[in-house]
Amino acid sequence: MADFQENENNYSASNIQVLEGLEAVRKRPAMYIGDISEKGLHHLINETVDNSIDEAMAGYCKNIEVTLNEDGSVTVEDDGRGIPVDEHKKLHKSALEVVMTVLHAGGKFDKGSYKVSGGLHGVGVSCVNALSAHMKSQVFRDGNIYQQEYEKGKPLYPVKIIGTTEKTGTRQQFWPDNSIFTTTTFQWDIVARRMRELAYLNAGIKIILTDMHPHPETGKTRTETFHAEDGLKEFVRYVDRHRQHLFNDVIYLKTEKQGIPIEIAIMYNTDYTENIHSYVNNINTIEGGTHLTGFRTALTRTLKAYADGEPTISKQIEKAKIEIAGEDFREGLTAVISIKVAEPQFEGQTKTKLGNSEVSGAVQQAVGEALSNYLEEHPNEAKLICNKVILAATARIAARNARESVQRKNVMSGGGLPGKLADCSKKDPKDCEIFLVEGDSAGGSAKQGRDRYTQAILPLRGKILNVEKVQRHRVFEAESVMNIIQSIGVRFGVEGEDDYEANTDKLRYDKIIIMTDADVDGSHIDTLIMTLFYRFMPKVIEEGHLYIATPPLYKCTYKKISEYCYTEQQRQMFIDKYGDGTEDGKNIHTQRYKGLGEMNPEQLWETTMDPKTRLLKQVNIENAAEADEIFSMLMGDDVEPRREFIEQNATYANIDA
């Protein structure tokens, strides 16, 4: 029987605590689920599914059904043991009610499983309940169907038996509260993406996702089953599906070291970037941490030791006169790492960096053993990897020499600011900002409209390189990239640091603002520039210097009243306020801005550049990682998924204001 660790509270006292707990969640929902936008909304599904995944990881559940119902509710049903329903002696209520109404009560049942403390996940299904206008729990256990319903987290009646059944499991249905969330519409793509990820991360589990909303044209509902018998082996193939591979094998290990379950899958491709996706307790650790450090160390050491021990390869390295660095071993590497940690410590800006120091050694040991075995047993593949590493090192060293000569020339020509930069006159970086502006014509307006004292303008022209598809050093050969680097004052190859990690000590501006058209192309350019910073200058993002400007979509005018509208919603609000009641407010004049170039300098200042009135979106590591992932997904040889994506994501839905 479940052991409730309650203190001596009597029933009524504990009930008051419950209500206070629910009230706290409803008062400050963002503290529990991140935010109250689309992202927070989808968190309700993740939180509910996580409980079923826990039951599956404990070995008691195989199937999870997630249904987006036509009435806007979501149902999550599993075939586990069912949440216990027996009555707690002191609280005089069912265990189910405790799980559903007491904050963090869920975790008390199953000690020893891999739960996540703090951070975004692991707040418990009681939070979902608190943030739902209505919720219905059903438990299939001991031949009975137990049920309880709630409103805004408060039980409507004690747990009751409503029928009999042969099956076991738990069924949760919730109707998100529209007085809490800015939207209560679930998106197939967002849900599917997480369900796919969970299926890959937990081999053998079947997750069936259904959207009951009929398709507007075909009238059909949609179902997809996510299921990977081979877990991460299949995940890494999926992630890398658009790339060409050095060889077809997945290098794979699944083991346990020092009590830490570790699963890793690796592929080598012919591209030039490193793509490592790491997870702790099913959470994507985008900021990395000790597990990633352990992985990288083992990779470098093992491959180095192998190369040193192979006469043909070590001779090749000697002849090329190169020194191989860690990053050379990771060029064209795609890996997925998933580990489980009993008491994870999450750190960093977005609480997705693993801090547990004991993990690094465990992962290092596991990867070292598995990889050296693989290399010994697969001499042909080992040779292909080594050749790729030698090429990477050669290119990197050639690039460093070229870069150093450019830097020397810059210093000799005094400062080396690009000719295209219109700098600001103030020198103290903390008060200065730079706009990276798409196109020369918008650049011209920006130069005229700006505050010359504190705002610098750098017009960008020409193609911005896709970081994925070119050797790393080629990125530095692109004029637009060099202009950005020289203008903002980041330095590469600073003594003792990675060749490709920017040093921000001499940054010349506090804010670096990307300013592009509010259309598909503009959004594509934002993504490219974000990716460039993410890959080569992550410190700029981590230190909070990177922003995206938001130009308005419309200027709406009624008689002498004019307003800039940055969203469709704002335009609708203007029409509602001043319109004469005709369909689209015929008495209102709407000017649509297609590009920055259509605004004169004063308008550009007023709408997009004036610090007093503009709307800036700060880029954080999470947004940037998303942009990067979009890119590695998009830039395969398939053109179609890419176009489709760009069309669907013409707005910056994922960037917080």
Between residues 110 and 598, which has the closer beta carbon with respect to ligand 0RA? Answer: 110
Between residues 104 and 301, which has the closer beta carbon with respect to ligand 0RA? Answer: 104
Based on the residue annotation, tell me whether 71 is a catalytic residue of this protein: no
CB of 126 to ligand 0RA, least distance (A): 12
Q: Indicate whether 184 belongs to the interface with ligand 0RA (CB under 6 A).
A: no
Q: Which residues of 432-442 are buried (b: 16+ CB within 10 A; e: fewer)?
A: bbbbbbbbeeb
> Residues 80, 449, 552, 585: which binds ligand 0RA (CB under 6 A)?
80
3-state SS assignment for residue 56: helix
Between residues 110 and 606, which has the closer beta carbon with respect to ligand 0RA? Answer: 110
Stretch in the footprint of ligand 0RA (CB under 6 A) among 73-81, 263-271, 426-434, 453-461: 73-81
> Residues 14, 94, 170, 338: which binds ligand 0RA (CB under 6 A)?
170
Stretch in the footprint of ligand 0RA (CB under 6 A) among 78-86, 177-185, 351-359, 533-541: 78-86
Q: Annotation-wise, does 576 bind a ligand? A: no
φ/ψ (deg, to 5) at 476: -75, -10
> Is-contact 285 291, C-beta < 8 A?
yes
Between residues 98 and 529, which has the closer beta carbon with respect to ligand 0RA? Answer: 98
> Is-contact 53 140, C-beta < 8 A?
no
- Ranges within 278-307 binding ligand 0RA (CB under 6 A): none
Between residues 109 and 578, which has the closer beta carbon with respect to ligand 0RA? Answer: 109
Between residues 77 and 271, which has the closer beta carbon with respect to ligand 0RA? Answer: 77
- Ranges within 199-218 binding ligand 0RA (CB under 6 A): none
Q: Annotation-wise, does 310 bind a ligand? A: no
Between residues 52 and 285, which has the closer beta carbon with respect to ligand 0RA? Answer: 52
Between residues 52 and 527, which has the closer beta carbon with respect to ligand 0RA? Answer: 52
- Among 35, 519, 563, 629, the one annotated catalytic: 519
102 contacts: CB under 8 Å, gap ≥ 6: 17, 18, 21, 126
CB of 85 to ligand 0RA, least distance (A): 10
CB of 207 to ligand 0RA, least distance (A): 13
Q: Considering CB under 6 A, how many residues would be counted as binding ligand 0RA?
A: 12
3-class SS letters over 534-587:
HHHCHHHHHCCCEEEECCCCEEEEECCEEEEECCHHHHHHHHHHHCCCCCCCCC
Which run of H or E residues covers position 212?
none
Residue 632 one-letter amino acid: S
Q: What gap in Å lies between CA 599 and CA 611, rounded to an integer? A: 18
> Residues 18, 22, 33, 83: which binds ligand 0RA (CB under 6 A)?
83
- Among 6, 274, 521, 626, the one annotated catalytic: 521
Residue 485 Ramachandran class (φ > 0 left, ψ -120 to 50 alpha, else beta):
alpha
Q: Indicate whether 84 belongs to the interface with ligand 0RA (CB under 6 A).
A: yes
Nearest to residue 265, comparing CAs of 362, 361, 192, 200? 200
Nearest to residue 141, comparing CAs of 94, 206, 185? 94
Residue 523 one-letter amino acid: S
233 contacts: CB under 8 Å, gap ≥ 6: 250, 252, 265
345 DSSP 8-state letter: -
Give the residues across from 555 on adjacent strands.
Answer: 564, 591
Tokens of 568: 């469709």
Each residue 102-131 as x (binds ligand 0RA by CB under 6 A) or -, in order, gives -------xx---------------------
Stretch in the footprint of ligand 0RA (CB under 6 A) among 50-58, 200-208, 443-451, 534-542: 50-58
Residue 51 one-letter amino acid: N
Q: Annotation-wise, does 517 bind a ligand? A: yes
Tokens of 501: 């990690």
CB of 69 to ligand 0RA, least distance (A): 18
Pairing of strands 206-211, 222-227: antiparallel
- Among 433, 517, 526, 622, the one annotated catalytic: 517
Between residues 108 and 426, which has the closer beta carbon with respect to ligand 0RA? Answer: 108
104 contacts: CB under 8 Å, gap ≥ 6: 123, 124, 126
Q: What gap in Å lies between CA 500 and CA 473, rounded to an integer? A: 9
- Ranges within 332-391 binding ligand 0RA (CB under 6 A): none
CB of 117 to ligand 0RA, least distance (A): 17
Based on the residue annotation, tell me whether 229 is a catalytic residue of this protein: no
> Residues 18, 25, 32, 51: which binds ligand 0RA (CB under 6 A)?
51
> Residues 22, 25, 42, 55: which binds ligand 0RA (CB under 6 A)?
55
Stretch in the footprint of ligand 0RA (CB under 6 A) among 23-31, 48-56, 183-191, 431-439: 48-56
3-state SS assignment for residue 486: helix
3-state SS assignment for residue 397: helix
Q: How many other β-carbons are positioned within 10 Å of the β-carbon of residue 579?
A: 17
Stretch in the footprint of ligand 0RA (CB under 6 A) among 49-57, 128-136, 154-162, 573-581: 49-57
- Burial class (CB within 10 angstroms; exposed 0-12, middle 13-18, buried 19+) of 524: buried
Tokens of 270: 């012919």
Based on the residue annotation, tell me whether 519 is a catalytic residue of this protein: yes
With tokens 């890398």, the residue in question is 240
> Residues 78, 97, 197, 517: which binds ligand 0RA (CB under 6 A)?
78
Q: What gap in Å lies between CA 191 and CA 175, rounded to an integer? A: 16
Nearest to residue 169, comparing CAs of 69, 76, 104, 100? 76
Between residues 77 and 622, which has the closer beta carbon with respect to ligand 0RA? Answer: 77
Kindly give the residue spans of alpha helices, DSSP state H, lying in 605-639: 621-634
- Ranges within 491-510 binding ligand 0RA (CB under 6 A): none
> Residues 26, 39, 62, 81: which binds ligand 0RA (CB under 6 A)?
81
φ/ψ (deg, to 5) at 115: -90, 165
How far the first Cα of the chain sits from its last, in Å, is 48
Q: Indicate whether 97 belongs to the interface with ligand 0RA (CB under 6 A).
A: no
Stretch in the footprint of ligand 0RA (CB under 6 A) among 14-22, 77-85, 174-182, 279-287: 77-85
CB of 648 to ligand 0RA, least distance (A): 33
Q: What gap in Å lies between CA 504 and CA 495, rounded to an integer? A: 14
Q: What gap in Å lies between CA 521 and CA 304, rounded to an integer? A: 43
Q: What gap in Å lies between CA 589 and CA 559, rounded to an integer? A: 9
CB of 171 to ligand 0RA, least distance (A): 9
Based on the residue annotation, tell me whether 423 is a catalytic residue of this protein: no
- Among 50, 438, 468, 622, the one annotated catalytic: 438
Interacting residue ranges for ligand 0RA, rule: CB under 6 A = 51-52, 55, 78, 80-84, 109-110, 170
Residues annotated as binding site for Mg(2+)? Answer: 438, 517, 519
List residues with catalytic annotation: 438, 517, 519, 521
Residues annotated as binding site? Answer: 438, 517, 519
